[in-house]
Amino acid sequence: MNKNFKYLYSALLGLALGVSMTACDDWTEPESIDLNYGTIDQADPEAYAKYLADLREYRGRDHKKVYAWFDNVAEFGSQGHRITALPDSIDVIVPTNPGAVTDKLVGEMNQVRNDKGMQISYCIDFNEIKKDWTLKCEELAARRLEFIAQNGEDAEIPAELTDPTFNDFMTQAWMEQLSYFNAVGFDGIMAAFDGKATQHLTPAELAEYNSQAKLFLGILNDWHQRNPSVPVDYLGKPQNIASHPILNDFRTVFLSEGLSATNARMFDIIYAEASGTVADSKLGIPAYIHAVNTSDDPKTGIFSDGTYAIDGLSAWTAANNVGAVGIFNTANDYFISAGHYTTVRNLIQTVNPCAK
């Protein structure tokens, strides 16, 4: 953000506060009336239009991209469930349930895309697909046992009760998840794949790994070649896929180990391990925002010394020549900071300070 953008934002914030004060005066009326809750765009449409134009122009300027993973829900129980309530300077929103996007959310996606220049992406995760395959095989094994108990051991097992091969299951999962792109109207996709360091694998393990990695990245690369204008991001360990040609085509490469860091010094180690695989300007590290009630979850998003991982990541990102930062559990911050997304706003200001 430049200085003019900052001043325009401050002016709009003042307008918002003024509108709120007017509305509060109306609340003192004892009778039932139709209240008119003013908004910034209603208070000064011209200034708000200028603000949005500056915001859209900001997307194309050099800055560290901010990605926000957002747990989309079926119904909006509060503003914390709406992407329109997210801080405006977030660049890419990543809904975590892309197969459950409602018409209401599609409407909000279109609004933040058209008005604010935000993009909406979603992630296809190798580990999640593999976990679903394992669960499917376990379910089918239980059904086979039930079938044998009812029909005897000599009975022929129906085809629908046989386990799908991993490759068949993976291919079907990719096809289903890629269908969300056009059905929902996303702007980009992300692939999550850590891969493995292969030097200690047995020949059998190496063959299995190579087959699965080749399939997962091959489907991604094929789709990318047929849709070259669609931005593709990556979450994982790029050093484990350094030989794959798609690596250089990723818009942003997020280092997944950041999510398990127990102190800020680990960010340096994670960064050093990945440095050189792609340009540093493409790299980014993600971290979790801690739980709303840390007594329920005292570990997620909290370093071993009790400080918050997102604060450590904010300072680290500002001090290093990386191109992006990722925020997981973004909606938590709405409820933690009484609806103001204070932690997220502080991170944005830290990694992209206003020009002096």
The CB-based long-range contact list for 12-15 (8 Å cut-off, 24+ gap) reads 12/40, 12/44, 12/47, 12/48, 12/51, 15/40, 15/43, 15/44, 15/47
For 48-106, the pLDDT digits (tens) are: 899 999 999 999 999 999 999 999 998 888 888 999 999 999 999 999 999 999 999 99
Report angle CA 293, 294, 297 to the nearest 5 degrees. Answer: 105
pLDDT of residue 39: 62
The CB-based long-range contact list for 154-163 (8 Å cut-off, 24+ gap) reads 163/136, 163/137
- Cα distance between residue 301 and residue 290, in whole Å: 4
- Cα distance between residue 199 and residue 206, in whole Å: 9
pLDDT of residue 74: 85
For 118-129, the pLDDT digits (tens) are: 999 999 999 999
pLDDT range class, residue 286, cuts 50, 70, 90: very high
The 3-state DSSP class for residue 33 equals: coil
The 3-state DSSP class for residue 109 equals: helix
Q: What percent of the chain has pLDDT over 90?
A: 79
